[in-house]
Amino acid sequence: MSARFTIARLGSQGDGIAETEAGEVFIPFTLPGETVTAAREKDRATLMSVLEASPFRIDPACRHFGVCGGCALQHLETEAYRQWKREKVVHALKIKGIVCDIGALVPCAPQTRRRVVFSARRTEAGMQLGFVRALSSEIIPIEECPISLPEIVAALGRLKALAGLICATTKSFHMTVTVTGSGLDVAVHESGKLGENQRRVASNFVIAEGLARLAIDGEIIVEPKKPVVLFGGVAVAVPPGAFLQATAAAEQAMADIVGRHLARAKKVADLFAGCGSFALRLAAKSEVHAVEGDAAALSALDRAFRFASGLRRVTSERRDLFRRPLTFKELNAFDGLVFDPPRAGAEDQSKQIARSDVPFVAAVSCNPVTLARDLRILIDGGYALKSVTPIDQFLWSPHVEAVALLEKPKRRR
């Protein structure tokens, strides 16, 4: 049953929120100030029509917007969108009682995302490749994607054909596609066990179509060209499905901020180091100790350092920092530190950092809520928060990255 709603504000996921006598109603693809009709089901509603549009409503950039389940805010004017994203960081810090200099949002350009996760499934109508509709398991096939690098969009037909060749399940599966300096790296998950003939046919297809690599559930099926990315000029042969920042521009922006803050540090710890996007850049001026729980990522980092030239010493340590964070005594061996944990943040590690004497700390996060929690721990431990810079690398989504810089005065001995 449809009803009329007035949108009061945007929620944390980019949905418009209408306030009713029965409570808040979340209506995707609406904007504050709009009057709309929508079909309500409990606390959510599906937009039917916009009766009175916001002056900040614009035409979306993609024909699939509103159905594919990817972008949430293509309909919001650019400056208003950027202010909303920055405000997410401001609000998260404010809740924790943190007031500091929060910079303008570093913007994200369209057609720059280098790593995209598609969903695929074989149906009676043929192979489907696309994104999953929000709050659904339905795959929406796509023909364009204005956030992704053109190399990915141009390969949609080949990727769909490859999905058909390797599909050995009736269920949906995921295909992660990454643009590297060597070509497209394709990492597939849960597509089923390949038969020998399937493996041979898929391998021949990858070679013929010029793809860099195909891996399924971590196993390399074929690798005509080792996928390589550059971190500050250092070539890294990344393992299948390796974590990379979503855009190269955002990665560089974060690395520049961190690098300037740690410029005076002679010995730096890089926690949750991944394949070395910070460590290998920082090693141009400082000794670096990289700590990471993923063995393949750490091996790629170490190998890249050994084949690079002009770097200071980089040591590496495999360690689950959630189960066994570096202690404050271990951290006191360093005069600079950067940590970039997953969305869950690094609460236990932050407690150890707070007790340490490390003078310069950079905290990188893709979750303002857990960042605020971790910063509160550091501030309560004696750190001064100097600045926070929001960075948009998840264009038109509700997600925002941020880099926070902290300092602690040296203790008098």
CATH of the domain at 137: 2.40.50.1070
Per-residue tokens: 12 = 């944390």
Asked if residue 72 is part of any domain, the answer here is no
Per-residue model confidence (pLDDT) at position 337: 98
The answer to whether residues 102 and 196 belong to one domain is no
Query: What's the total number of domains in the chain?
Result: 3
pLDDT class of 66 with cuts at 50, 70, 90: very high
Distance CA 270, CA 405 (A): 14
Per-residue tokens: 116 = 């995209």
The answer to whether residues 87 and 151 belong to one domain is no
The answer to whether residues 182 and 309 belong to one domain is no
The answer to whether residues 259 and 383 belong to one domain is yes
The answer to whether residues 332 and 361 belong to one domain is yes
Asked if residue 235 is part of any domain, the answer here is no
Asked if residue 63 is part of any domain, the answer here is no
The answer to whether residues 214 and 260 belong to one domain is no
Asked if residue 239 is part of any domain, the answer here is no
Is 366 designated active site?
Answer: yes
Average pLDDT over residues 214-243: 96
- Look at 242 and 208; give whichever has higher pLDDT: 208
Asked if residue 173 is part of any domain, the answer here is yes
Asked if residue 412 is part of any domain, the answer here is no
Position 413 pLDDT exceeds 50: no
Q: What is the pLDDT of residues 22-46, one digit of tens each?
A: 899 999 999 999 999 999 999 999 9
Say if CB 290 and CB 273 are below 8 A apart. Answer: yes
The answer to whether residues 139 and 158 belong to one domain is yes
Average pLDDT over residues 359-372: 98
Distance CA 83, CA 322 (A): 33
DSSP one-letter string for 235-288? EEEPPTT----SBHHHHHHHHHHHHHHTTT-SEEEEES-TTTTTHHHHTTTSEE
**Phi, psi dihedrals of residue 105, rounded to the nearest 5°:** -65, 130
The answer to whether residues 130 and 51 belong to one domain is no
Structural domain boundaries enclosing 394 = 82-109+244-407
Task: Enumerate residues 6+ apart whose C-beta is below 8 A from 312.
Answer: 283, 284, 285, 286, 287, 288
The answer to whether residues 377 and 260 belong to one domain is yes
CATH number where 249 lies: 3.40.50.150
CATH number where 36 lies: 2.40.50.140
Per-residue tokens: 99 = 């007031």
The answer to whether residues 281 and 367 belong to one domain is yes
Asked if residue 69 is part of any domain, the answer here is no
Task: Give this prediction's pTM.
Answer: 0.94
Q: What is the pLDDT of residues 128-155, one digit of tens each?
A: 999 999 878 899 999 999 999 999 999 9
Asked if residue 53 is part of any domain, the answer here is yes
Q: What is the pLDDT of residues 148-175, one digit of tens each?
A: 999 999 999 999 999 999 999 999 999 9
Q: 């309909």: which residue's tokens? A: 75
Position 241 pLDDT exceeds 90: no
The answer to whether residues 200 and 262 belong to one domain is no
